[in-house]
Structure 1
């Protein structure tokens, strides 16, 4: 346990030094603030700069606060996932390439603790950033739109948090398995391309980690498909555990590839 604590402190210091502890939350919070504000003022902006013919009028849908949460999640599904991939694709492979990992491998530590320390710290950064972003959005939603029930918001955030833990685990497992470029490419394939495929063909199945964002948005209204929801949650949790053990194994197996 002392080795894990030491590795956790090392990861925290490293993410503070490379500013990931700061700029990732800032990115999520900025999008969280911009989403409700831009949706509230967009009709007025379009009227003032839209160069519409005289007498023409744009009819905008009445957005609810729940719609803004779902819209913000859509932003995080693309930009947020890209931020996670770009920020952490070299977490393990980068240390092998630069030889930094040599300083760790000569110490009495287990590769399971090495991988877990990164998994815990990265998840803490990503989840804290996401929650801060949604809380910032919630504040402006309460002011500019309608009040959204706290129970629904926390159920929404809890479901979406599991998806982000899955995304982080995928990135770190691929980083342990291959080079930084390969980890980036496969992470984009699994987290973004498969997401598009699920959106196009997903009507043929109801249980999938890529369905979690849909089930999260259903918290704000639709209540059907609870069995499929819980099966998707269970499947995602199992895949996370499998990927964690896979990442531990690959981190140990590829230790010999570390440059000295």
Structure 2
């Protein structure tokens, strides 16, 4: 078996042993279910805990099913991304700091296989979690608010998957670059949050950007995004991910000497 296969199997066992294969999807499923359920029972919740004067009547507009799915994506943009950063911030930095990477670095090692095996397993778990969360959210949205066109849902999830892959790549590159997991998390969150703030302030000037993926995902539930801008954005995202992967492989090999013995 080649090195990539051996290392991928190692990553599988490690994610199985530390339960990431279970708790990360569970968190995304919980977030996906919570949004439609909380929206549906919001009037009753406020009525029971709001301490409102007797006779007060509060009417809330019933959200469209598509709006609920976009709200689920909003939860992923906040809590979901934080979960992924915390789960994978120590993927490489943690191994170096603890000294466990010494067992690998002491042997002839392909750093391409090393980094790509970690990226592949993290990406699989992240995408699995997101899709399971969306499907769980869709099921409860269908029960409580109505149906959504299946093709729009697939396009929505497919578009958001590009963004998730980019986030996972940023986290792993930061983990390869930083000396410990805490700094890797800080750098990852800093890059993600600051870039989104910049896009929120100045994004009207560039329709083609990986930062537009969430907006284009939501647009599938309306009239759809501009296809030219969407495909250019998707292509730019794939190119950026590829460049970050090359950078991550290079940094991993350069930082091998800093491993604690």
User: Which band: TM-score by shorter chain?
Assistant: over 0.9
Residue pair 2:216, 2:225 contacting (<8 A) in 1 also: no
1:75-86 superposed matches below 5 A: 75-86=75-86
Q: Give the unaligned 5+ runs of structure 1.
A: none
CA distance in 2, matches of 1:96, 1:74: 34
Structure 2 unmatched runs, 5+: none
1:169-221 Cα offsets, whole Å, 9 max, x none, are 00001111122233212111111232133223322221211110010000000
Shift of 1:109: 2.6
Matching residue of 1:129? 129
Please give the TM-score of this superposition, normalised by the length of structure 2. Answer: 0.95
Partner of 2:214: 213
Partner Cα distance (1:182, 1:48) in 2: 43
Higher alpha-carbon deviation: 9-18 or 182-191: 182-191
SS across alignment from 1:60: coil
Q: 1:110 Cα deviation (Å)?
A: 0.3
State the shift of 1:55 in Å: 4.4
1:140 lines up with 2:140 in the alignment: yes
Q: Deviations over 1:65-111 (max 9, x none)?
A: 11111000000001111111111111011111111111111223300
Give the distance between the partners of 1:249 and 1:234, measured in 2 at CA.
23
Structure-1 residue corresponding to 2:60: 60
RMSD: 1.4
TM-score, normalised with respect to structure 1: 0.96
2:167 alignment counterpart: 167
Q: Distance in 2 between matches of 1:4 and 1:211?
A: 33
Per the alignment, residue 257 of structure 2 pairs with: 256
The correspondence of residues 67-146 of structure 1 with structure 2, limited to 5 A, is 67-146=67-146
- Please state if 1:244 is matched with 2:260: no
Q: Secondary structure at the match of 2:208?
A: coil
The CA deviation at 1:17 is 1.3
Residue 224 of structure 1 deviates from its aligned partner by 4.5
Alignment of structure 1 residues 219-238 onto 2, 5 Å: 219-238=220-239
